[in-house]
Amino acid sequence: AAPPYVPALVVGTGYGAAVTALRLGAAGIKTTMIEMGQLWTTPGKDGKVFCSTLSPDRRSMWFNRKTKAPLDTFLWLDVVNRDIGTPYAGVLDRIDFPNMGVYVGRGVGGGSLVNGGMAPTPQRAYFEKMLPQVDADAMYKRYFPLARRMLGVNSIDPHYLEKTPIYKFARVSRRHAHQAGFKTTVIPNVYDFKYLQREEKKQVPRSALAGEVIYGNNHGKQSLDKTYLADALGTGNVTIRTLTRVTTIHQQGKGYLVGLEQIDAWGKVIRRSEISCGSLFLGAGSVGTTELLLRARETGTLPDLPAAIGAGWGTNGNVMTARANHLWDPTGSLQSTIPTLAIDNWNHPKYPSFAEIAPLPVGIETFASLYLAITVNPERGRFTYNHNTDRADLHWGAHQSTPSIRSAQFLFDKINKAIGTTYRRDLFTGNRAFAADFCYHPLGGALLGKATDNYGRVRNHPGLYVTDSSLIPGSLGVNPFVTITALAERNIAQVLASDLKRR
Ligand code: FAD
């Protein structure tokens, strides 16, 4: 029998995919979304959908026997990562390449399920530098405000921030930054800060105050399943297939034929099938989308895909570090997992950085100040297709992380000097003070204006679109999901108006 046909197929259910599906559905176009992860709505034996960072189980990681948290050790002890039993379709994946581990979310909602919810908008001047071909006026007047509204972005009550014990860690780091002459800023978030205040008063079940974040939040966070995807399903034109991975893409007439592999939650392949579509939107994330396109080009199913695919990948300059505070500077034993302040040294001419003040929510006093810094790192990685493994390989040399470390070190050396403190060397293997060998913000691989036109249309391939973080050239200067969302809104508006209006 001929494979089933849908007018529009969207790969993935992260930010780019969710925006695209909602706008297609709202325009009356029947759309199917394909997601390799699970729909996270069914509670486990403990009555919870997600497990916490303090007692992770099989739900935490995508097919692993042990957790792979960003911190390796604590006080040099192997107490951070835990055995989690039989490999299972858990919510957080770490894709390990030589010299670089890339964290991604798996499930309906993609990265929104596991991320810290931080929702800043990039500085306009830097956005214009990174994406000069995009009309910044339209972005800053229309699409950024739209994205923030749709995502449910809110900010902490400033009075609450000043007095609550759950942000003592943030206030301590802020004071240290100010003493060293640096500015700080409040970062908006999609976690509902009103809910958080009620958590503290024990009026509602705890999530940010129960160590929940990178393995999912059971409450409080307005992840995509509660925003864009709920609205997309509400159009009546969008359906989502879960635990199904897109494997191949072929041209078929004026549309595309897509290979699918469906698994059960323990990874057993239960069905291989095909689906054909008129328009195909790739929203599988920076690694996922780039891999699908590279495989199609290199195995000859879409041999005319542009040579630019696979190039221009970056880490958004991510680097993590921690400082050891004095014993008279405790950071608090109850910490919110949701960050809310950052040190803003972005305008430094040589060593720009935007360093989020991160919690270390382990339930005891640690006297530690933890940071995830976003820096300018001009280095770019490149993906190639590996015929033996059928996967994309990332080429990123260890030395390519050095610019990120230098910028962070400039900032934190000054803070340590002003406060008389040192780095914590017990958290990352090898007594390192800085970890720039993993990233939360993979960007690039199918760049806007290079692999695609200025609206995400893949060159020489009518009806094939890229909608996600792979469009962005390696760096944004702030956490990326608001920008990914806004860019997807802008692109699909154009595509609906000019390519799909007569379907
Ligand atoms: P994703 O959100 O990655 O979604 C891609 C989806 O496609 C996934 O669900 C994946 O399972 C699915 N998929 C992939 N391949 C296939 C395939 N072949 N077939 C079917 N499905 C497939 N950003 C911020 O702005 N603020 C933060 O605070 C923040 N914190 C973060 C913390 C962590 C731990 C992590 C991992 C990320 C964080 N990020 C943060 C980054 C942010 O989540 C990502 O930039 C964003 O999710 C990328 O969006 P996307 O649309 O490109 O794809």
Q: Which residue numbers are catalytic?
A: 356, 441
* HEC string for 381-439: EEEEEECCCCEEEEECCHHHHHHHHHHHHHHHHHHHHHHCCEECCCCECCCECEECCEE
Pocket perturbation via mutation, ligand 1, pick of 242, 273, 438, 440 by most ligand atoms within 8 A of CB:
440
- What's the rounded Cα separation, in Å, for the pair 81 and 67? 5
Predicted pLDDT of residue 501: 66
- What's the rounded Cα separation, in Å, for the pair 158 and 73? 34
Cα 230 to ligand 1 centroid, rounded to whole Å = 18
Q: In whole angstroms, what separates CA 369 from the centre of its chain?
A: 23
**Regions of the chain where pLDDT drops below 50:** 503
Predicted pLDDT of residue 503: 47
ipTM over 0.90? The verdict is yes
Place of tokens 């992840």: 223
Please give the share of the chain, as a percent, with pLDDT higher than 70.
Answer: 99
Cα 24 to ligand 1 centroid, rounded to whole Å = 21
- What's the rounded Cα separation, in Å, for the pair 173 and 416? 11
- What's the rounded Cα separation, in Å, for the pair 254 and 204? 53
Cα 348 to ligand 1 centroid, rounded to whole Å = 29
C-beta separation of 109 from 40 below 8 A: yes
pLDDT digits (tens, 9 = 90+) for 344-364: 999 999 999 999 999 999 999
Angle, helices 481-498/15-26, rounded to nearest 10 degrees: 30
Residues β-bridged to residue 260: 246, 273
Is this structure's pTM higher than 0.90?
A: yes
Residues β-bridged to residue 249: 258
φ, ψ (nearest 5 deg) of residue 424? -85, 125
Cα 105 to ligand 1 centroid, rounded to whole Å = 5
pLDDT digits (tens, 9 = 90+) for 103-153: 999 999 999 999 999 999 999 999 999 999 999 999 999 999 999 999 999
Pocket perturbation via mutation, ligand 1, pick of 481, 484, 492 by most ligand atoms within 8 A of CB:
481
Q: Which atom of ligand 1 is nearest to the CA of 110?
A: 9
The ligand 1 site (C-beta within 6 Å) comprises 11-17, 34-37, 103-106, 110-111, 114-118, 214, 245-246, 283-286, 288, 292, 440-441, 468-469, 479-481, 484
